[in-house]
Amino acid sequence: MAEHYLAVDGVRAYCEEIFRRHGFDDDACRQIVDVVLTADLYGIESHGIQRMQRYHDSLRRKLVDVNARPDVVYETPLSAVMEANRAMGQTTAYMAMRLAIDKAKQHGFGAVTVRNCNHYGIAGYYAKMAVNEDLMGGSSTNTEAIAIPTFGKQPMLGTSPLALGMPADPYDFLFDCATTVVPRGKIEIYGKRGLPLKPGWAADENGKSCLDAGHVLENINKKAFGGIFPIGGESVLTGSHKGYGLGIIAEIFTGILSGGDTSPHVKNGGMGDTSFGFFALDYGLFGDKASIRARVSALLQELRDSAKAEGHDRIYTHGELEMISHDEKLKSGIPAGDRTVEELISIGKDMGLNYADYVREVS
């Protein structure tokens, strides 16, 4: 359980001020912090304010270039490729998705790839940007290699998420999933709690399923063989080749189509050489938008209303939990543990800011 529930406005202003003092302009601060807080609001705490320490550290170590401006190095009416010049992930991704959205609004479809950038937060945020403009949207990023191919034992692909959004009522459809069976953070949580991993999550140095989280993480950290299995797990009998293929698709859409580094060549945890891919598609390309929107909303409602398995009383559609969580946490506050609050206080001190002047807890 979280020990603190932070009112959203205060923590937003505080985090924005931290980035401002790192040298970002107002728009950039708003964009970065909105991605971070949206993760918390969606209930994806792994990508929320608990990452502020990491962003702060990488800015202080100049791994991210505050002054860098991404360049569009190739462009057509429907597409663009951006060289990020090691700029901040969120601001670059925001710019790229805006460009894809503008192209989709003008021509029906827009796709933009980005190379040499940094972590961009949750993939779904950018897909949702398109959804908020009544378009379909897609987003992906590669990462340092941590996933092993089916029948392999060497980390070759990223946990690279694929996100896809489609406007619907009352809940937009928002799919956002790592192409590995679990993200690295899940292995870490099980390790910290001393729990055995589930079979088919992670591989030892021989490429065989391994339940010892500590052993798996040690191998990952020392760049030995072993890693995380693709969606579908270890065996083709459970569909390992399907997740492996989705990982390649994410890599094509990011590292390949951007001219950037592919996951096997991404270094330093992806600092400065991560690639992204974005697209926006006007679903009006396929007829009357109100009718399409009504039809997809009906499909999602039918899924939610369909008969429940024994032991379950609810079926969700993708994005539903996130939208509900978002609206709830705007009132109840963002949950944070002691350690995250301590980190936020400490970051503020580094930057000459007093945490208590900004952040208040929801009682």
Q: Give DSSP secondary structure letters for 190-247.
A: HHHTTPPPPTTSEE-TTSSB---HHHHHHHHHTT-S-EEPBTT-S-GGGTHHHHHHHH
Three-state secondary structure call for residue 108? coil
Residues 353, 119, 58: CA angle, nearest 5 degrees: 45
Q: Nearer to a second copy by C-beta: 58 or 150?
A: 150
CB of 179 to a second copy, least distance (A): 9
Q: Give DSSP secondary structure letters for 246-274.
A: HHHHHHIIIIIHHT---GGG--GGGTTTE
CB of 38 to a second copy, least distance (A): 19
Q: Nearer to a second copy by C-beta: 157 or 220?
A: 157
CB of 176 to a second copy, least distance (A): 9
Tokens representing residue 279 in the block:
């697209």
Q: Nearer to a second copy by C-beta: 16 or 273?
A: 273
Tokens representing residue 82 in the block:
């951006």
Q: Nearer to a second copy by C-beta: 185 or 264?
A: 264
CB of 320 to a second copy, least distance (A): 11
Buried b / exposed e across 31-61, counting CB within 10 Å, b at 16+?
A: bbbbbbbbbbbbbbbebbbbbbbebbebbee
Q: Nearer to a second copy by C-beta: 41 or 136?
A: 136
Amino acid at 89: G
CB of 97 to a second copy, least distance (A): 16
